[in-house]
């Protein structure tokens, strides 16, 4: 043992073998296919978002009078500011795509069933945190669309039963959108949500480790491969390809900014980002109360899905009700999204 290793071991008395053991965790071979190891992608993107987000805070000013000018400054004046902002925005969009794909693969392989129900619940919480990240981030730009999206989005919260009004007041810092609102959204975006996401990711991965990755139904293969270095390298390649893709995207489509927010003038066409299209279409089709009620039922159903599936299995075994209901909901979500994208 060389002197440097001994020096470290004397000061940090941890048995190196206990550190190596979790790295050698065997994974089933189906995890070599990219769609099955998609869980690592949001984790990589979260790191990219934290790194670029920290750089953006050096120049962003969370004040209604200065926010817009500071985003313009980052986009058009600060050296490489456009690149950092572009990667941050692109990674946030990719994060939503990656979480959705990961969720779809977990759903259709039924990897959420006993004993992994709680990990599904943690996963849905991570999905909600991802969407809240996107919503609060969008509102920080303080251009017309982001300002009015904040008003419309927070208005919807008021309709929630019992907690709606206090929650709205807490988020806005008053009954209406006012100068406090931006700093609250900023706090959520850079402190509360990152801390929650980091905590939930650790708990989520901890549970994956404790249970091991779920075997694929009807897969006769029993071979495994080690987490380190094989799986880590695979994830690193995915991360590298994502970064190359993001860099190219930002080079060809650098970030821009809309007109400055004008509180008295509502833009003709307020539209949320694509990932809120299904909810937006649904709300347009119904009254606000029915729309919000339906959305609450949808989200609650998503959280409780492993338990609903187990109940359906007991009521009608071999009917594959989980597949019929799940496919119907996924199709409905896609139809609403495409509908809103085309009709607007
Ligand atoms: C930030 C978001 C998320 C991260 C970083 C993440 C990460 C991961 C990772 C690394 C795994 C190991 C297997 C794999 O790579 O696919 C995994 C498994 C799992 N995830 Fe996620 N996940 C996230 C969101 C979600 C969501 C939205 C759901 C579902 C609603 C979910 C449910 C599950 C379940 C049930 C497993 C166990 C699956 C199995 O054992 O095959 N996760 N997650």
CATH of the domain at 99: 1.20.810.10
Domain count within the chain: 2
Name the domain boundary from 241, 263, 285.
263
47 vs 21: which has the higher pLDDT: 47
Same domain for 247 and 299, yes or no, is no
Q: Does 99 sit in the ligand 1 pocket, CB within 6 Å?
A: yes
Number of C-alpha atoms within 13 angstroms, CB side, residue 121? 11
Q: Do 197 and 306 fall into the same domain?
A: no
Q: What is the mean pLDDT of residues 133-160?
A: 90
Instruction: State the pLDDT confidence band at 156, using cuts at 50, 70 and 90.
Output: confident
- Residues 99/49, Cβ–Cβ less than 8 Å: no
The pLDDT of 145-174, averaged and rounded, is 88
Residue 84, ligand 1, Cβ within 6 A: no
The two three-digit tokens of residue 17, written as one number: 């073998």
User: Does ligand 1 have an atom closer than 6 angstroms to the CB of 123?
Assistant: yes
In a domain, 52, yes or no: yes
What's the pLDDT at 213?
A: 93
Segments forming the whole domain that contains residue 326: 271-344
| Weakest mean pLDDT among 111-115, 126-130, 265-269, 310-314 | 265-269
Pick from 210, 234, 263: which residue ends a domain? 263
Residue nearest atom 28 in ligand 1 by C-alpha distance: 123
Dist. CA 212–CA 25, nearest whole Å:
9
Provide mean pLDDT across the span 101-125: 97
- Number of DSSP helices (H) and strands (E) in the chain, helices first: 15, 2
- What are the C-alpha distances in Å from 321 to residues 195, 301, 302? 37, 15, 15
Q: Are residues 97 and 222 in the same domain?
A: yes
Asked whether residue 230 is domain-assigned, the answer is yes
17 domain-assigned = no
Residue 20 has pLDDT above 90, yes or no: no
CA of 79 to the centre of ligand 1 (A): 37
> How remote is the CA of residue 260 from the centroid of ligand 1, in Å?
39
Q: Residue 316's CB: how many other CB atoms inside 10 A? A: 10
Is the CB–ligand 1 distance for residue 172 below 6 Å? no
**256 and 204 fall within a common domain:** yes
Task: Answer whether residue 268 shows pLDDT above 80.
Answer: no
List, for residues 50-92, the tens digit of each pLDDT value.
999 999 999 999 999 999 999 999 999 999 999 999 999 999 9
Q: Are 234 and 30 in contact (CB under 8 A)?
A: no
User: Average model confidence (pLDDT) for the chain?
Assistant: 93
Residue 288: per-residue pLDDT: 84
pLDDT band of residue 318 (cuts 50, 70, 90) is confident
Our answer on whether the CB atom of 106 is closer than 6 Å to any ligand 1 atom is: yes
pLDDT band at 224 (very low <50, low <70, confident <90, very high): very high
Span 99-111, mean pLDDT? Answer: 96
298 lies in a domain? yes
Question: Could you give the 3-state DSSP secondary structure of residue 114?
Answer: coil
Do 173 and 135 meet the contact criterion of CB atoms below 8 Å apart?
A: no
| Residue 313 CA to ligand 1 centre (angstroms) | 23
Nearest residue CA, atom 5 of ligand 1?
43
Distance of CA 288 to the CA centre of its chain: 25
Q: Is residue 83 in contact with ligand 1, taking CB distance under 6 Å? A: no
Q: Which residues contact 243 (CB under 8 A, 6 or more apart)?
A: 48
State the average pLDDT over residues 284-311: 94
- pLDDT-based confidence at 21, cuts 50/70/90? confident
The widest CA-to-CA distance across the chain, in whole angstroms, is 72
Q: Give the mean pLDDT of 315-339.
A: 95
Q: Report whether residue 111 contacts ligand 1, using a CB cutoff of 6 Å.
A: yes
- Report yes or no on 14 lying in a domain: no
Mean pLDDT of 93-118: 96
For residue 1, what pLDDT is reported?
Answer: 66
- In the predicted model, is pLDDT for residue 325 greater than 90? yes
> With 90 as the cut, is the pLDDT of residue 112 above it?
yes
- In this structure, the answer to whether residues 136 and 43 fall within a common structural domain is yes
């Amino acid at each position: 043992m060389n002197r440097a290793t001994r020096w470290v071991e004397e000061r940090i008395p941890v048995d190196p073998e206990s550190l190596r053991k979790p790295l050698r965790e065997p994974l089933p071979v189906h995890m070599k296919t990219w769609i099955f190891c998609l869980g690592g992608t949001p984790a990589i993107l979260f790191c990219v978002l934290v790194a670029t987000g920290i750089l953006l805070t050096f120049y962003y000013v969370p004040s209604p009078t200065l926010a817009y000018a500071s985003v313009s400054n980052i986009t058009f004046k600060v050296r490489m500011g456009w690149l950092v902002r572009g990667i941050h925005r692109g990674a946030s969009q990719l994060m939503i795509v990656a979480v959705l794909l990961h969720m779809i693969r977990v759903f259709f392989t039924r990897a959420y069933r006993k004993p992994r129900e709680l990990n599904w619940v943690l996963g849905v919480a991570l999905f909600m945190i991802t969407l809240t990240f996107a919503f609060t981030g969008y509102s920080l730009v303080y251009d017309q669309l982001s300002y009015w999206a904040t008003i419309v989005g927070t208005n919807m919260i008021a309709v929630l039963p019992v907690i709606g009004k206090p929650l709205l007041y807490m988020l806005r810092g008053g009954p209406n959108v006012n100068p406090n609102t931006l700093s609250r959204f900023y706090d959520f975006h850079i402190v509360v949500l990152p801390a929650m996401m980091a905590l939930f990711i650790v708990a989520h991965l901890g549970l994956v480790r404790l249970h091991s990755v779920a075997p694929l139904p009807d897969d006769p293969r029993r071979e495994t491969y080690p987490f380190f270095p094989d799986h880590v390298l695979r994830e690193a390649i995915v991360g590298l390809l994502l970064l190359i893709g993001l860099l190219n995207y930002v080079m060809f489509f650098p970030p821009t900014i809309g007109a400055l927010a004008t509180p008295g003038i509502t833009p003709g066409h307020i539209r949320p980002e694509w990932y809120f299209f299904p909810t937006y279409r649904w709300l347009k089709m119904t009254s606000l109360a029915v729309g919000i009620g339906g959305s609450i039922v949808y989200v609650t159903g998503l959280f409780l899905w492993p338990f609903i599936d187990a109940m359906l299995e007991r009521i009608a075994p071999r009917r594959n009700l989980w597949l019929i209901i799940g496919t119907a909901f996924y199709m409905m979500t896609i139809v609403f999204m495409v509908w809103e994208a085309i009709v607007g």
